Chain A
Amino acid sequence: MRPLILGGICLCLAGAGQASEWPADAAVDPNAQNRTLTPKVVVNSGRLEWEPYKRDLTPWPTLSHLDRRPTPRPQQANYDPPLRGDPARGREIAMDPARGNCIACHTLPGEPWPGSVGQLLLGYKQRGVSDAYVYQQIYDRRVTNPNTVMPPFGAFGVLTEQEIRDLTAYVQSLE
């Protein structure tokens, strides 16, 4: 028992100095490619087994009290015109559950809606909203609405600048 406890202390002190690291009580295998682990319950066993999760979630803040990494604050995007976005690629990203997944929350014209927390995204083609505005909403909508439920795709590094440009072009093309 004793050496284990000592091991625990050492690990903790090592982790505490690095604010960029995930907390010590996260389900993580630092040596795996996708460090995040998912539990696997094995019948008639006193041990919980672990499997690699399909995506590495360690870069973002957790709920742990030991997690000292701040959430990125609401951020103004550095939007640099012209748009240089491809609406077809944007549509693909909007439908892709692993990337934008905008369809999970937004009703998009002409797309079958899976049904959940909905908001209509349409009429941008006629509305004449600026590209910079739309870009900012995708990059970090907290700037416009501090209590938004929409993820800050740009500020959190979930989508790249080019992906946000493509999405902006797509949104601006919606009838």
Chain B
Amino acid sequence: MRTLLRTGLLLTALVGTAWAQEPAPYRDMDLPIPDYEAHVRGDLRLSKTYPHWRDRSRLDWRLAGNPDEHWKLNWKFMDPPFNQAVHGGHFALERGEYLYKTLNRNGRFAACLGAGRAGLKGLRTRFPQYRQDLGRVVGLEAVIEHCAAAQGEVLQNGSYDNSAVSLYIASFSQGMPIRIDVSRGPMQEAYERGRRLFHTKAGRLNFACSSCHTRNIGQLVRGSHITTPYGDVTHYPVYRTQYFLQSLHLRMMECNLDTGVQPLLPGSQAYTDLEVFLTALSNGYPVSVPAERN
């Protein structure tokens, strides 16, 4: 299985964009696709809950205490600084620090990640990004895997240790707004593919991400109220009891499995495109880790 996994990832890198040339096979789309905005304020036109969670340090306690209304806070009451509890995310952060310092003894790991003069500060806010050397758009976890491999270490995308390092790196951007530019080049292409994928129906039941996350915001599904897709990525990787530490791509796998869609490997191009789309919807919203979710 291990070889399978690695070949899968290499495949994505090698096959590159060969699929982009062929005509796409028939898919049902969840239409119409709304006018998403590549900024968190776009939620003012979608779920309109943004005013409730815009400022994490001043959330409305009354909403947080009401099980029918707390979804309007987009679960931000489980992020610091509102959430003061010590949870698994804090242990992961320590693990990430240890791993990072070991990997970066000679400074090569940081250089490979693309940390400039400012070091790790702000690095998280610039991912996903197009990497010239890799020839494609990649998320932070994919780059961590790549840069660890360059030193002979295995930090598979989605593994606890990979996410722990990602969390540690994100902690240096605490409070800094996400800032990715999807207005041109490969990032714009990835954003457009991601937006389309978000509305593409797939799997045994022919559901799209948007069937829930855009059309049914506020509805109860499997015991959780669905929240807006805006402002979601800034608390990833996140502590979840059944996952210990869940990267964004693992969350997509979970939503795929829950809706009868065969999941893809973490780091796959489709998940990366979805990540670009979702990250653009978090532009302007501050990173906040470590967070937990139910």
Contact = CB atoms under 8 A, between A and B. Distances in A.
Interface of A: 4-5, 7-9, 11-12, 22-29, 36-39, 41-48, 50, 53, 55, 57-71, 73, 115-117, 142, 147, 149, 151-152, 156, 158
B253 A69 contact: no
Contact of A26 (B10, B216, B265): B265
A58 B22 CA distance: 22
Question: Secondary structure of the B side of the interface?
Answer: mixed
A62 B262 contact: yes
A63 B264 contact: yes
B33 to A, nearest CB: 12
A46 B264 contact: no
B269 interface: yes
Contacts of B206: 71, 151-152, 156
Given A57-B263, A147-B31, 17 more contacts: A8-B6, A8-B11, A11-B7, A12-B15, A23-B264, A41-B250, A43-B160, A46-B155, A46-B156, A55-B260, A61-B25, A64-B270, A65-B269, A70-B26, A73-B26, A117-B219, A151-B204
Contacts of A151: 204-207
7 contacts: A28-B4, A38-B263, A47-B156, A63-B256, A63-B270, A71-B25, A71-B26
Contacts of A26: 8, 262-265
A60 to B, nearest CB: 5
Contacts of A11: 7, 11
A158 B262 contact: no
Interface in B240-294: 243-246, 250, 253, 256-257, 260-266, 268-271, 274
Given A7-B7, A71-B25, A156-B206, A60 B260 contact: yes
A27 B159 contact: no
B257 A38 contact: yes
Contact of B203 (A29, A41, A62, A115): A62
A63 B262 CA distance: 8
A69 to B, nearest CB: 6
B250 A39 contact: yes
B153 A46 contact: yes
B250 A57 contact: no
Given A42-B159, A60-B261, A4 B7 contact: yes
Contacts of B202: 60-63, 71
B27 interface: yes
B160 A115 contact: no
A9 B27 CA distance: 27
A8 B256 contact: no
B20 interface: yes
Of the listed residues A29, A41, A115, A117, the one surrounded by the most CB atoms of chain B closer than 10 A to its CB is A41
Given A39-B250, A115-B220, A116-B219, A28 B266 contact: no
A116 B256 contact: no
Nearest to A28: B262
Contact of A46 (B22, B159, B207, B274): B159
B88 to A, nearest CB: 9
B264 A27 contact: yes
* The 5 nearest A-B residue pairs measured at CB: A57-B262, A70-B25, A151-B205, A25-B268, A8-B10
Interface in B76-122: 95
Contact of B261 (A39, A62, A147): A62
B10 A53 contact: no
Contacts of B257: 36, 38, 53, 57
B179 interface: no
Given A41-B250, A60-B262, A149-B211, A158 B205 contact: yes
A63 B221 contact: no
Interface string B136-157: 0000000000001000011111
